[in-house]
Amino acid sequence: MSAGQPEQNLSHPAALSAGLPLRLYGLKKRSEFLAAARAPRIATPGFVLQARKRDEGAEIRVGFTCSKKVGNSIARNRAKRRLRALARLILPTDGHAGTDYVLIGRAGNTGERDFKMMQDDLRRALRKLSS
């Protein structure tokens, strides 16, 4: 299982957007993950953020991935769920249009780090990328 594992758990994109100002779309294909992997990245204690500016389209797309280092399937799923909650909360307002984001879980921290601190981490990482 590589970092480019397709995000099979991603739910319907429209369901994600319910009640939110901007729709989030999921990254599904391995090639899309690989493209984002070559893009600039910011590492935080709770996760790693990658962002790739696309040429076409204005929607924000986001993908989640966890390697086996994070733990067994339960630990990986919990890490991805927390990352998904983060993205739902912050990306529609702080994200940049026409960008693909990939959030990568880190062993030991993604499932345990304080959620407020992770929100700050994500906002700071987004500012850093845009500057």
Partner RNA sequence: GUGGAAGGCUGGAUGGCCGCGGCAGACUGGAUCUGUCGAGGAAAGUCCGGACUCCAAAAAGCAACGGUGCCGGGUAACGCCCGGGCGGGGCAACCCGACGGAAAGCGCCACAGAAAAUAUACCGCCCCGCAGGUUGGGGUCCGGUCGAACCGGUGGGGUAAAAGCCCACCGCGCCUCUGGCAACAGCGGCGGCAUGGCAAGCCCCACCGGGAGCAAUGCCAAAUAGGGAUCCCGCCAUUGGGCGCGCUUUUCGCUCAGGGAUCCGGGUUGGCAGCUAAAGCGCGGGUGGCAACACCCCGCCCAGAGGAAUGGUCAUCACCCUUCGGGGAACAGAAUCCGGCUUACAGGCCUUCCGCGCAU
Partner RNA sequence: CGGGCUAUGGCGCAGCUUGGUAGCGCGUCCGUCUGGGGGACGGAAGGUCGUAGGUUCGAAUCCUGCUAGCCCGA
Identify any residues that bridge with 100 across adjacent strands, giving them in sequence order. Answer: 52, 61
Positions in 96-115 near RNA (CB under 7 A): 114-115
Using CB under 7 A, which of the segments 28-36, 37-45, 55-63, 75-83 binds RNA? 75-83
How distant is the alpha carbon of residue 124 from its chain centre?
A: 14
The H or E element containing residue 90 is helix 73-94
Residue (53 or 68) nearer to RNA, CB: 68
What is the distance between the alpha carbons of residues 14 and 32, in angstroms, rounded to a whole number?
A: 20
Question: Site mask, RNA, residues 16-35, x = CB under 7 A?
Answer: x-xx----------------
58 DSSP 8-state letter: -
CB of 18 to RNA, least distance (A): 4
Using CB under 7 A, which of the segments 28-36, 50-58, 78-86, 93-101 binds RNA? 78-86
Residue (52 or 102) nearer to RNA, CB: 102
Q: What are the residues whose beta carbons fall under 8 Å from the beta carbon of 42, sequence distance 6 or more?
A: 48, 49, 125, 128, 129
Please measure the distance between the N-terminal and C-terminal CA atoms of the chain and give it in whole angstroms. Answer: 34
Using CB under 7 A, which of the segments 30-38, 44-52, 53-61, 77-85 binds RNA? 77-85
**Residue from 104, 95, 88, 90 nearest 43 by CA:** 104
Rule CB under 7 A: say whether 120 interacts with RNA: no
**Positions in the binding site for RNA (CB under 7 A):** 8-9, 11-12, 14-16, 18-19, 72-74, 77-78, 81-82, 85, 88, 114-116
